[in-house]
Structure 1
């Protein structure tokens, strides 16, 4: 199969898209208006690409006239008034997937506003969650808004290409970076929707699971004691064996609710135990006990990680000065390169290297969405897997979510994750948000009969996504080789914490431990605070979604061995290529009101002071007297990127830009009633996605699915219910 051909006109808001396409084996021609000069950034973002520096918009039209007929994807990012491809778009663009990424979308009162990464994380609610109480919000390190936006741009392009296989034509897709960020907050906004609470800055202490960063004798580790009861029991046994459990062995501490109520004291005892040991002692001891703890690794240490080395995650880039090593891609495509060449400068006579790729045709048509006709067997739980299937569902895929009372998804069953007062497992706020558009099939997979039903379903699906521990599917006779016998074209996506292979393959991981191992936690400050929301889950989910679309587009089956750790480490940016992080000139400053802040893009104090009619020495005081929204509007009118730092309530109830785009959409749930949900990020013009139905009740569609797909009779269904197979 010939390679995709991609024209990349992105700036820093979405340049990750071009890197992802290189990782998928695409031929990428990058057209730059402003040349990337920093060596580390140029190597990381653009290796494997041919780069044309073309500041002249008039000359761009000539180049596109020659390259466009054989292009598959055109992706551009930047402020709306600087986009060039929208102005050039015409009838001869009908065959391409054309994706534009803007800070705030092409609609609403802020559509022309510029934003850098810090401003975008503030506008989308992510910056609000980082830092210490009472102090300035801190966005996550390494330009996460832009990397997330670049991933969603690549996802949108692949959705458009899949739709092209059915319709024969391409389409325009739009991405708002603010919406991308707002869709990646875990409980940041849905806590307000369901509980009327606003998660805030906690110095890295998770608000809904007992995990955090702890100091050791020589560094830091991330870990905790939430999850199944075994997590607490085995940690307590370890501490008791060392004589350091204090009074935690008393019966009252066996009550999870009591532990949660007295979490500060429990953290104090656990923290003292950790502080007497090195980071490696804690991490190694935890892995041997199946406990979710990990060393907070610096980026340089990530290069020595034995799990990543064993799985050959890292990428060598050939340069004129010799090979250099960089972090790899978030997943291994069938066409993934093992080495890259540094970016190659070309002139305006550049041509494609490959011939035209002819799209295959699919015929299924249901809602008119990009993934109509695709069926997914969803064996995932918690966040990373369900977020991936959520993305597929909102573009038309039929998601068959397999769940059970006997494998209790914490997002349904854990009280701290239900969010809604008095909620049951059928109207948990967390579950509702990430499982809309899905059908629930109750299978008690502890029973051989349920495992057999699962095998019988495989011929009727295109994709199987799972996040069991490595080896579980094989024991059920559902490993990839067995699945291929049942369905030769099936795509299996496995989402284990650190992958299916390697010396740490059985490691138990949570979002915080993956962030720690990846190097990102280290960069949250000194001492490191960690990320108090599941960024790693969403990063891994985005990678799983893109990997799935890649194989569906190629029309081949395959096993995607996705490591959530690798997906996170891929988001380090150029950290391992540079001696120290580049200084970010943007800042977040306090404004009038209780804990209200504004993010302002890179500008000198003198420039800001002049614009605001004051002096540099008085700048902070003057800004502190301003309303954040009014000041952002004023600064934007003067040419400075700026936006108020939004919290969860602001996003849902008060942000005019999100409201103008209808980002939060209501679905009517049978128990919860009308509930706002985070909306669809990829706005495809020809095959739009949507929110069509609320999250299912547990097992709501069991009989429907087994009748529809397997033809089971009412009598057979009744027997399976009686035998506890469908619980």
Structure 2
């Protein structure tokens, strides 16, 4: 184990990679922190005035210097003052440059063409590199509003900001993925912090749109097809218990009956008020029936009961809980920071078999490494392109796992989904062809059932091929083994037992030894006492720090109606795979990556862990406030909602003067006065007036309006795809552009069993006779019950 003193860990996947970080704030430095955690040597070139993140408060409580946010983002890097290094020296030394400037402000640090062997330039900004404004950390609420995320959080008429700096963290993760995907191209990558990786807005839009909905078609079609299976289930959300809050899950059929057995209330199963159809409508009546059961038990008691019985439930963990949680302790997630700050800090992003991670990382003082930096030091390893034709096998479902294949497919990988007809991906969605709004074709009737037209599934699985292989049959398991033996990457995001229960874990371990990169993605990881928790988004929100900070300051915990942890896990898992592939391409071995979705989410709340260690408290719940701003919030105008940020006291005085001139109410809190003033004005008038007073203000966008207004199309975030069943539709792209071109995955999402014969012939040289025999034994080629087989390609 030992201390990582800002030098690359020798056996880490990115050891030898050189990263020059000229970005400040959150997004760019988070990309640098991820790369540093994976072994890259990251040199932070800090301006004379210092990175503004040094003074950004986590909440409204007492703060220390440097801020816990700065500590989390910058530990493990070397620090060089901007006055002690020239841009030409830095660019000649680096493999990757992380910038936070828009194109019109590019200067010497972005002039990669000025050196003979140019590094990869990754620019991550709030609104896009083509925008006039790069944005600032205090734009977080505005980015969430502009991306459609804020509208997607609506519950009981309230819109709630995602806590912390989620869009900027997510953009930073995309920036790390863009850097690794683009290495060897000597080009430029753009990432924005709203939806994916070109701007913060696009990054967050991607986080919203993949999971909440993929709007296309008419309203009725969306109602039929796009409701996620976590939506309107109950019991759900946060329940108060003896020592905090828990989040019960009621996603699978057995969850409801198992709960009722644990409650000692089997009568609830037969109560007509609480049937599957009526339970949500009567949720408050049901809450009254079961609330006392929760209040009589602790979080751990309820969680352990759930693990033992197979029910899905999660504890709402705070940042303070992370410091003592036995599961996270066994996994080595938290270590110690030394140097310019002291205390606990996340130190490992995921576990890799047969490797160790540092337990101590140093936070350098500004300029502390001026004497260490030698610009003419030769590079210790070449750049590595992730080659086209990479072979990837997916055993995945829902969002997080499929996103890894989606990203890899967009870089040229041949990605194969392995599915079985008995257990279709829940995101495929079963519905009749007549609900599509398109003609079903000559071979099919309007009443035929399809699993091939879900917008969510078709968005996340574009550019892949699908094979139908039943692993429960000996011949099917044999086919799977042969596919994996021919693959470079295996992605699994089911429970930690899925391979072992089928006798495949030893075989996969052997394949890792010959060079396979295998990532497994259970909610809480594959190792640790709590690893059996099911991987549903709201449970991960509870266990990963989100639920403890989301919602009104006056409540104890809340979950969102989104699948946000999947968005976070998908891009972080992509970084994990790309880093392992980079190590392998540079002569390293294969890798067995134990990826915890809980820990990935905690990485985006890492400042809270630092704060808890330094001050013995968890971050306060801020609602829609912006940390460090004089005022911020969401206003209801006559024709919609707006998000605003008043950054300074000077701006606050200007806004008060505006309200006094415009008939507003004086003498009350600024937020209250703004609420009353905006209520009878339209959004355009409110926005322009606040901007004129120096405040920042944007209209809250809805997913449908972003999709259909042309905004995403103008940002080149939409891909028009012609699907054999769903027809021609627009789908959300990946928010990363390499060399100015958005990452694209060729072709539509696969239909069930569409490519089975094709792939087994191409990859494994199966004969027609062998294919026919396997189909005859139902080892391959099964389709979901009730669906009609389609012609295979």
Q: TM-score, normalised by structure 2?
A: 0.80
Give the structure 2 partner of residue 410 of structure 1: 426
Give the structure 2 partner of residue 651 of structure 1: 706
Residues 485/18 of structure 1: CA separation in 2 closer, same or farther (3 Å cut)? closer
Q: Does 1:675 align with 2:729?
A: yes
Q: Does 1:576 align with 2:600?
A: no
Give the structure 2 partner of residue 281 of structure 1: 301
SS of the equivalent of 1:185 reads helix
Which segment drifts farther, 444-453 or 380-389? 380-389
Question: How far 1:667 sits from its partner (Å)?
Answer: 0.8
Give the structure 2 partner of residue 642 of structure 1: 697
Question: How far 1:590 sits from its partner (Å)?
Answer: 1.8
Q: Does 1:125 align with 2:180?
A: no
Give the structure 2 partner of residue 220 of structure 1: 245
Residues 315/383 of structure 1: CA separation in 2 closer, same or farther (3 Å cut)? same
Which segment drifts farther, 145-154 or 4-13? 4-13
Match of residue 764, structure 2, among 677, 686, 710: 710
Q: Deviations 1:329-356 (Å, cap 9, x if unpaired)?
A: 4324658433101223217666149740
Which segment drifts farther, 20-29 or 569-578? 569-578
Give the structure 2 partner of residue 723 of structure 1: 777
Which segment drifts farther, 380-389 or 570-579? 570-579
Give the structure 2 partner of residue 600 of structure 1: 645
Question: How far 1:602 sits from its partner (Å)?
Answer: 2.3
Residues 679/514 of structure 1: CA separation in 2 closer, same or farther (3 Å cut)? same
Q: Does 1:95 align with 2:97?
A: no
Q: Does 1:64 align with 2:109?
A: no
Contact 1:195 1:419 in 2 (8 A): no
Number of paired residues?
A: 696
Question: How far 1:95 sits from its partner (Å)?
Answer: 2.9
Q: Does 1:566 align with 2:620?
A: no
Give the structure 1 partner of residue 215 of structure 2: 192
Question: How far 1:262 sits from its partner (Å)?
Answer: 6.0
Question: How far 1:638 sits from its partner (Å)?
Answer: 6.9
Q: 1-side partners of 2:694 and 2:133: how far apart?
A: 14
Structure 1 segments unaligned to the other structure (5+ residues): 363-369
SS of the equivalent of 1:445 reads coil
Question: How far 1:260 sits from its partner (Å)?
Answer: 6.3
Q: 2-side partners of 1:21 and 1:179: how far apart?
A: 22
Q: 2-side partners of 1:640 and 1:469: how far apart?
A: 48
Q: 2-side partners of 1:99 and 1:290: how far apart?
A: 44
Residues 528/714 of structure 1: CA separation in 2 closer, same or farther (3 Å cut)? same
Residues 191/48 of structure 1: CA separation in 2 closer, same or farther (3 Å cut)? closer
Q: Deviations 1:238-260 (Å, cap 9, x if unpaired)?
A: 23xx2x3444236x799755656
Residues 341/414 of structure 1: CA separation in 2 closer, same or farther (3 Å cut)? farther
Q: Deviations 1:681-705 (Å, cap 9, x if unpaired)?
A: 1100177521421111111111110
Superposed CA RMSD in Å reads 3.3
Contact 2:145 2:701 in 1 (8 A): yes
Q: 2-side partners of 1:383 and 1:171: how far apart?
A: 28
Q: Deviations 1:243-302 (Å, cap 9, x if unpaired)?
A: x3444236x799755656766655554545434433333212111112211221221012
Q: Deviations 1:627-685 (Å, cap 9, x if unpaired)?
A: 435654675677643322111112212363x3321212221111111112111211001
Structure 2 segments unaligned to the other structure (5+ residues): 1-9, 56-64, 192-197, 438-446, 621-626, 667-672, 783-793
Residues 695/226 of structure 1: CA separation in 2 closer, same or farther (3 Å cut)? same
Give the structure 2 partner of residue 367 of structure 1: none
Give the structure 2 partner of residue 509 of structure 1: 535
Q: Does 1:49 align with 2:62?
A: no
Give the structure 1 partner of residue 316 of structure 2: 296
Match of residue 159, structure 1, among 181, 185, 188: 181
Match of residue 40, structure 2, among 23, 26, 31: 26
Give the structure 1 partner of residue 17 of structure 2: 4
Question: How far 1:86 sits from its partner (Å)?
Answer: 7.0
Question: How far 1:181 sits from its partner (Å)?
Answer: 0.3
Q: 2-side partners of 1:380 and 1:510: how far apart?
A: 14
Q: 2-side partners of 1:637 and 1:374: how far apart?
A: 53
Contact 1:129 1:138 in 2 (8 A): no
Residues 703/486 of structure 1: CA separation in 2 closer, same or farther (3 Å cut)? farther
Contact 1:80 1:111 in 2 (8 A): no
Match of residue 471, structure 1, among 477, 494, 497: 497
SS of the equivalent of 1:675 reads strand
